[in-house]
Amino acid sequence: MTKRKAVLGRPSRAGFTLVELLVVIAIIGVLMGLLLPAVQMAREAARVAQCKNNLRQIGLAMMNYESGRRTFPPSAVIQGVGAINTNSSWSIHGRLLPYLEQGNVYDQVNLNMAWDDQPVISGLKIPTYACPTDPNSNVTRDVSPKLASPLYPTCYGFNFGSWLIWDPVTGQMGDGMFGPNAKIGIRNILDGTSNTLMVADVRARQFYGRNESLVGGPSIPPPDPAAVAARVPTSFTWCRPNGHTEWPDGRVHHQGFTTGLAPNGRLILNSVSNQCPAGSDIDYNSRQEATSTTEATYAVITARSYHTGLVNAAMMDGSVRSVVEEIDLALWRALGTRAGGEVIALDD
């Protein structure tokens, strides 16, 4: 009988070795590292597009308002000193509601009554007023015991001009498009609608200090950030992260911006003031509108965004632009005036 020899073969390999597995994991990690920034950029591009669309909707609402009333909305209707301090005057945001497909809300509020006593706006978010890039756009503010609590913020501010907001002695508003008791129409935009700002990005829950007088008098500082900072007090009794947190409020620090500083310009608080830490980037309102019979309101309320290196803005002709933060400050101020007579050359 022939004996057969058993042939012992090496067992077949059904998996990866540890080295191969580590190589595959490393390759996947490199690919994810390459793709993740591209995904993030694509998402931010979509958010920027949505932000611009919001501004277009606001611009269209503004044009429809002016077409029907032959004037743009005032920032507030001040009938007496102290009235607006009790939140009795509605913002531009509130006055545009019926033109933003919010007619049902508008029909249930009364613009002649204090907004904070109207519970219909409690917890009401107006999607058009929220920039998707702003991380605070969905953060409500508790303003209890007001019936309107809680309130959503706004991420878009209207153009109040360069420096002066309102003078209670003369009734004069600033050089921008909006102000208390204003009756500004297309006819008043002598600089041209395509050369005049309407609305721009602002940051929700912005630090701001208020009700401290200017340093050095009321004249507008030259277009230099250091000169602007020198006119702002170095400390505040009242300073909090509440700016742009009350969309129906008729005061500049909640509904507006000024062109004193360029987009994303920084106004640094060097010492702790109230609820604002040292090093805070703040806005400034010298005197809340209509809280004094003699003291005018001046403000540095800067257009800011969480978009990288720019803010989005709508012009008075309804067009929407991205404005880089490196824009010349003198040019930015010129875009903020309605009748300054400046010669402006904008890049497309």
Residue with tokens 């129409």: 185
Q: Which amino acid is at 192?
A: G
Dihedral sign (CA 46, 50, 253, 121) = negative
- Residue-wise pLDDT tens digits, 232-274: 999 999 999 999 999 999 999 999 999 999 999 999 999 999 9
This model's pTM is above 0.75 = yes
Cα 299 to Cα 288: distance, rounded to the nearest angstrom: 10
User: Which pLDDT score, from 0 to 100, does residue 2 have?
Assistant: 47
User: Which pLDDT score, from 0 to 100, does residue 162 have?
Assistant: 98
Name, in order, each residue with C-beta under 8 angstroms of 330's C-beta and a sequence gap of 6 or more.
223
**Residue 147 β-bridge partners:** none
H/E run at residue 321: strand 320-324
Is 81 a residue whose pLDDT tops 90? no
Alpha helices in 295-328 (DSSP H): none
User: Which pLDDT score, from 0 to 100, does residue 6 have?
Assistant: 46
C-alpha distances out from residue 195 to 85, 334, 347, Å: 33, 8, 12
Give the strand order in the sheet containing 206-210.
164-166, 297-300, 283-285, 206-210, 238-243
**What long-range pairs does 293-297 form, CB within 8 A, spacing at least 24?**
293/81, 293/168, 293/169, 294/168, 294/169, 295/168, 295/213, 296/164, 296/165, 296/166, 296/167, 296/168, 296/169, 296/218, 297/164, 297/165, 297/166, 297/167, 297/252
Residue with tokens 């875009």: 335
User: Which pLDDT score, from 0 to 100, does residue 28 have?
Assistant: 85
Work out the number of other CB atoms within 10 angstroms of the CB of residue 274.
Answer: 12
pLDDT above 70 covers a percentage of the chain that reads 91
User: Which pLDDT score, from 0 to 100, does residue 7 have?
Assistant: 47
- Residue-wise pLDDT tens digits, 272-318: 999 999 999 999 999 999 888 899 999 999 999 999 999 999 999 99
**b/e sequence 87-120, b meaning 16+ C-beta within 10 Å:** bbbbbbbbbbbbbbebeebbeebeeeebbbebeb
